[in-house]
Structure formats: C-alpha cells, structure tokens
Structure 1
Amino acid sequence: MNGKMTNAIAGLVCLLFPMPVLAQGFAGLGTSAEGFATPEPNPSFSFPADHGAHYDYRVEWWYLTANLNGPDGTPYGLQWTLFRTALAPEEGAGWQAPQLWMGHAAVTTPDAHYVTERLGRGGIGQAGVAADPFEAWIDDWHLSGDWQDMVMTASGPDFSYDMALSAQGPLIFHGEGGYSVKSSDGQASYYYSQPNFSILGTLHLPTGDIPVSGNAWFDREWSSQLLSDNQIGWDWFSLSFDDGAKLMGFRLQQPDESNYTSATWINADGQAQAYPDGAFQATPLATHKTAGRDVPVHWQVTLPDQGVDVTVSALNPDAWMATAIPYWEGPVQVTGSHQGRGYLEMTGYE
C-alpha cells in the first residue's frame, strides 16, 4: 500500500524470471517468509539507514503521491514509486544478485492518465537505493536528497516531470510505533510516512509544459510476508484535509467479503494516533468500468472517533495503472465533514 503494499512486486518476478512463484495471498504477498527476516513489535528505527534498502526482508517500497495545481487552478495527480523484491534470502554479486526492482510513474489530469514502468535487476547498477546520502533510482529516474529537501525525475513515452520537495513536518509511524499489522493472523510490516512534503516543478505533457505546485505524501514500507493467504486485495486512502489534519486508512479484502482495517489520524501539528481493526470504515458508493473492470471510484469513509464522515471521489475514474499486474491509483477529492483531497489505491479488482 502505498503503502505501501503492491501487486506489482509479484508481477516483476513473473515477467523477468521463468520460475514458479507461489501465489498465496494477493499477488504472492502471503507467501511464506522462510529464510527472510520478519517485522517484530516495538521496532527501533535508525535514520538515515532505514531510508535505505533492507535486503534481509523480501519486499520493500519507496512510494510518493502528490496532489498538484496548475497556474489556472486545474488539479493534477503525480506518482513515483520504486519497488524491491528478493528472489532468495542469500545475497550474490552482479547478475546473481537476487534483488528485482520495478518503477512506476504516472500523471493524472481530469481527463487523461499517463503511466509508465521500468523493470530492473539489482547487482548491475541499473536500480537501487542508497541511504546516506539518500538516492533511489531505476535507469534515469531519480529521487535524491536528505529527506528534508529532495529532487525527483521520471519519464515515459508521452510524459515526464521534474520536481523539488521540501518536508514541512515530522515523520509519521503507523500502527504501534511503525509496526503495522495487516491481518488477524498477525502479518505485519514496518511502515512510516512523510505526509507533509511541499512539492513544485514542471509536468511535461503532450499538451505542453505545466508548472505545478502542491503537497506530496511519501510512504516507506518493508516486510517479508505482508498478507495472510486469504487476503485478495486492498483499498488504501491518504487524505489531506483543508484544516491541516490528515488520515491514512486501508481495508484489506477477504473472500468472505469481510475486511481488515487500520488507520492513522494525524493532527495539524503532526501528532499521530493509530486506530485498530474496525475503527476505520470505507464503503463503496458507486463503481466505474475502466479497462474492463468495475472499480469503486466513489466512497464513504468514516473514522467516528475523529468525527470523520466524508465522501471520497476520483478526480479521473480512468486512473488505471496498466502495468505488469494492473491496479487503480489516482487523486481524489474529499467532501463532507471534512474538505480536502488525497490519493486512493485499489487492488484485486480483476
């Protein structure tokens, strides 16, 4: 989830390597963690080291989404993501290194959605992450800086962007101090965010160059067995309200149509409060057919303890990520008890 958690990781394995990949849980993220490290309660984070890669864990990502405006007030969305997965817990050199990498980049407008991806191998310099100074890259895509001020680039066949980011608040640790439980069986990840980046730069689109500015949300997450073997997808919300408060919430879908939920409420001053399963609710209100799938793009989201009862609506219902294993991700608008905007990621809608 931007989590985040993502189906693209398993897709990278399937695309690049002709070997069996276990399919337990959604996109293999319920596969046994045997041989890999697993998250434990009461984590102790160390920075800048934990901004870098954790090769003793099976899956990991660096995930940024942004809500932007052009000079005329037109809203835009932006995504930059780098995923890592390991084929085996043993390390190797060169082409024998077990690390696989996938990059996703997208720009969403009210009437268009541009998306591209990159696939890479570790051990040959094509992709990777360095902690100090921080740099994440795949091919010519880069995200680098000191986590206070950073620059970011990505490009595809029909778009590119160049951005600068500046942190405006503290890191937020989800769950119990960054230990984020994902199921009643106890699967978990380490999960923290920087939800308060200001961002500005230029979108290079087929319609021309557009200077933009806004706010970005950056997620860091790693694990080895992220889901239970019966969880089939998720819906993840990152919402920024006009009064300065923020809400991260997700629901994990199960075959009996029940859901496992989790949420973090973030006050305008950066103080965070975690909420366990059941406190946060997300209910689909309407679906839209895109890429042959019926996808819920209109939601009621509630967190009663904070007085949240909002409607979340997609800026562009066709924000389908036509990547190795496809999913929906795009900017949303928020109305109701709170006003604002944010991002929504949805997987498992086959």
Structure 2
Amino acid sequence: MRIDAVVLLLVVLLLVGCDQSAPEQKGFAGMGDQALAFTPVVPGRVFSFPADHGAHAGFRIEWWYVTANLKDQQGNQFGVQWTLFRSALKPVAEQAGWANQTIWLGHAAVTSAGVHHAAERYARGGIGQAGVRVALFEAWIDDWRFASEAPDPLSDLQLSARDKDFAYQLHLTSSRPLVLQGDNGFSRKSAEGQASYYYSQPFFQASGTLQIDGQSYTVSGPAWLDREWSSQPLSANQTGWDWLSLHLDSGEKVMLFRTRQKDGVPYLTGTWIAADGQTQTLRSEQITLTPQDTATVAGRSMPVKWSISIPDKHFDIQLNALNPNAWMNLRIPYWEGPVRITGSHPGQGYLEMTGY
C-alpha cells in the first residue's frame, strides 16, 4: 500500500518516452483514480497456489512486501523492509522488450533505534531488469532478490538487498499455511466497495546478517509477507492509510488497517490470526485504534505512539515506534518502521503510514 501517483507518473513518462500531461491526482497516490479498463476486484475469487505468487495481468497494481523484526545476540532491535511493486500502464499481458507496458519499483530499508536507511530502484518491464516468476519462485529488481528453490516456494526463501549505507541477507522459513485476509482474500478498503485481493504469510522466521554503516550484525526474528493486487484499491475521498502487522509473544498475529478520508470517519478493519493459523475478520466496531503521541518527521506531524483495544479478545496494548524518524525519504515518501508492543499482549510489529 504505497505509491505517490504524481512521482510515479513522471517516472513512467520518462521510461516510456511519453509526453502526455499528468492527470489530476485523486486520493492518495492516485489509487482512487478510476481504472475501468482494468480487471475489477470482486468477491468469490478462488486462489490458486503457487500461481498467485506470480504477477496478475489485467490488474493495475500489486506488490510483494516483506517486513522483519530482528534482534542480534546482544538484544539490539532492528527492522528490515523489502518491497517490489508492479504497476501496469495498460491492462494487457506481459510483452517482451520495449513493448512491455509494466513499470517495476523496489523499496528496501533497515531501521535501528538510532538509524534509518532507505533505498529505491525503478525498472522497465520486459528487459529482464525486474520481474516475478513462479517456477523456482523469484521476485527481483536489479540485484535485490526474494527467491526460493523449494517445491513450496513460501516454505524456504532467501531475501537480500543492498545500498551504499546498508545490506541484508536473510533466510526465511515457514511450515504454516497462508492467511487469506478479509473475506477469503477479498479485502475491502472502503465503504464504497474498493478492494484488493490480499493474502499473507505472517509466520516466517528469519535469520541472517545485517550491515548498517559498515557494522555487521547476526540477527533473527519473525517476518511477515503481504501480497496484494488490485485495480482501484482506494476511493477518491481517501487520503492515505495506517497499516499494522503485529507478532504477539503468545504466537498470535494481528493485521489492522484504517484508510483515512477527506470527509467522514476512517474505514477500519483487520484480521485476528490465532497461533494455529485460524483467522477471524475484525470489524470496525470491534476495534479502537487511537493515536497517542506525535513526532515531527520530515516536517510532518506523524503519530508514532498508538493505543489499540479489541475488547472481544481482551486486547489492550500500546505501540511505540522503535525509531520515530523511520521516514522513507525517497521519491515516493512515507513512514515505515518497526514498533514495540506493551500491555495485555506484548510483542513487536511493523507500522506503515501514508498520506500525511
């Protein structure tokens, strides 16, 4: 959930050599723009794996998104993010060479209590610089890789990225089933009907090495994969979102998001994931999600401390950013970083905030 349409459009125009003028942006990142020629997201999709780990022609946007909450042997905490976005210019199948109508975008970041580094990559589809393949699963852009040689591709993967200030090489494993978010993978994003297809693997365990500013760390901890694709995931009235993935010490997992609106109350929903992988969709009336404290980050007031209550689950917690300055200072800016959880269900997780 993360694209600034104006910037992305400029990059797209540059890459395709087009001189069209930019349309008026609607909602955050242009995700509220109508996409009538693209395939709509409707209830009742039957997911098929491993095919759905790959790209989905006909849909306008999708992403492969990994976060990890890590510790070294001394207990120091870190966060890692790896994301690959696919953005289609036209609702057609992938074509070879410069006839390809797909733009790829990669984001990678590392965060500690005192440091946050982020990097980005752009690529044109069709020339081998970026893409996703299902057989011997691999998602890549330049030398950033999320790849597996296992028959079940999401059981054993390697994750890597590097930039001038950081690098990481992680091994991700899980024997747990995937989680379909929302209504069997149909994830509503607004009361008007905008939605995405959305599944997760929240049960990854990660281990490997992390380098920050020339210092190397051996790290391990839980990781979370999100997969979403859509053609219009927001309404024109929605300005951005706050998204949370939580790893609780009890073994349970929680996904929450709210999409903020220009007018009216935010749209709020989530998923409670039991330690055995069973899920329960959380409705807005079951959740209280309240910003508690803010920090000035990149000239913006960002809520970096939250309280969350889910009375049906006897869940009453506080979230604090590990590093309040986890600003993704890229061409497409947003806040993304690890959080610490205290209260009834201690743990750790990740917070993303866009549109501020």
TM-score, normalised on structure 2?
A: 0.94
Partner of 1:247: 254
Q: Distance in 2 between matches of 1:203 and 1:71?
A: 12
- 1:1-350 equivalences under 5 Å are 5-8=1-4, 11-17=7-13, 18-19=19-20, 20-91=22-93, 92-145=95-148, 146-256=153-263, 258-349=265-356
Describe the shift of the 1:42–1:172 C-alpha distance in structure 2 as closer, same or farther (beyond 3 A): same
Give how far 1:133 is off: 1.7
Q: Deviations over 1:101-150 (max 9, x none)?
A: 10000000000001100011101111000012210000011100111000
Give how far 1:21 is off: 4.0
Runs of 4+ aligned residues of structure 1 deviating over 6 Å after TM superposition are none
Contact 2:41 2:197 in 1 (8 A): yes
Q: Which runs of 5+ in 1 are unaligned?
A: none
Give how far 1:9 is off: 6.2
Partner of 2:16: none
The one-letter code sitting in structure 2 at the alignment partner of 1:157 is: K
Give how far 1:269 is off: 1.0
Describe the shift of the 1:136–1:147 C-alpha distance in structure 2 as closer, same or farther (beyond 3 A): same
Give how far 1:279 is off: 2.4
Give how far 1:306 is off: 1.2
Corresponding residue SS for 2:284:
coil
Q: Distance in 1 between matches of 2:176 and 2:221?
A: 15
Q: Distance in 2 between matches of 1:157 and 1:201?
A: 19
Say which is worse superposed, 66-75 or 164-173, in terms of deviation.
Answer: 164-173
Q: Distance in 2 between matches of 1:323 and 1:235?
A: 19
Say which is worse superposed, 91-100 or 241-250, in terms of deviation.
Answer: 91-100
Aligned residue-pair number: 345
The one-letter code sitting in structure 2 at the alignment partner of 1:11 is: V
Contact 1:9 1:59 in 2 (8 A): no
Q: Deviations over 1:131-183 (max 9, x none)?
A: 12210000011100111000011011111111110014210111100000110
Corresponding residue SS for 1:278:
helix
Q: Distance in 2 between matches of 1:105 and 1:8?
A: 16
Contact 1:127 1:137 in 2 (8 A): yes
TM-score, normalised on structure 1?
A: 0.96
Q: Deviations over 1:248-307 (max 9, x none)?
A: 000110113510011100111111111233322311101000111110000011222211
The one-letter code sitting in structure 2 at the alignment partner of 1:57 is: F
Q: Distance in 2 between matches of 1:323 and 1:47?
A: 33
Q: Distance in 2 between matches of 1:247 and 1:260?
A: 17
Describe the shift of the 1:21–1:61 C-alpha distance in structure 2 as closer, same or farther (beyond 3 A): farther
Q: Deviations over 1:7-46 (max 9, x none)?
A: 2566333223153245122111011121111111111001
User: Over aligned residue pairs, what C-alpha RMSD do you find?
Assistant: 1.3
Describe the shift of the 1:86–1:22 C-alpha distance in structure 2 as closer, same or farther (beyond 3 A): farther
Corresponding residue SS for 1:268:
coil
Q: Deviations over 1:175-203 (max 9, x none)?
A: 10000011010011000000010000101
Q: Distance in 2 between matches of 1:164 and 1:9?
A: 33
